[in-house]
Amino acid sequence: MKTPRRTIVAVIDDDELVLDALEDLVESAGHTVMAFQSGPNLLEGGRLSEIDRLITDIGMPLIDGFELRRVARSRRPELPVILITGRHDIAAQRPAAGIADRLFLKPLDGRARLAVIGGQ
């Protein structure tokens, strides 16, 4: 019997502590993790085609999470993207931005953990 392929989740955050915590969380759910400290590291490394899901911080230098989502979706429209942020002012704009169900506040609450682990 063939073992099912594990879901590959790319996690991007410029905060090393958050990145490590997200990596541990996603791995504990049985997924394979590719961790990056910036969007360009993911995009320039040609790894976008290898992932099944993308979790990215919004507030990062070089390419913020919104731009990374836009670029990723232009190359892979079906790719699920989950945005995370510690900025409550951004979170308040969720409905207007059309991301109400894909934006979670740091620290991640139970709903966010379920979304990350369950692959929503």
List per-residue pLDDT tens for the chain, 120 residues long.
Answer: 677 778 999 999 999 998 998 898 888 888 999 999 999 999 998 899 999 999 999 989 889 998 999 999 999 999 999 888 876 666 555 444 555 457 777 776 656 666 665 654
- Provide the pairing of β-strand 8-12 with 53-57: parallel
**Range(s) of the domain holding residue 84:** 8-118
Tell me if 11 sits within 8 A of 53, measured CB to CB: no
pLDDT for 14 equals 94
Beta strand segments in the chain, E: 8-12, 32-36, 53-57, 81-85, 103-105
pLDDT for 4 equals 76
Burial 14-44 (b: 16+ CB within 10 A, else e): eeeebbebbbebbeebebebbbbbbbbbbbe
Domain containing residue 58: CATH number: 3.40.50.2300
* CA pair distance 92, 104, nearest whole angstrom: 11
Domain count, the chain: 1
pLDDT for 119 equals 54
Q: Is residue 94 part of a domain?
A: yes
Indicate the pTM of the whole model. 0.81
Q: Is residue 3 part of a domain?
A: no
Which residue from 33, 29, 31 is spatially nearest to 7, judged by alpha carbons? 31
Q: Is residue 1 part of a domain?
A: no
Q: Is residue 89 part of a domain?
A: yes
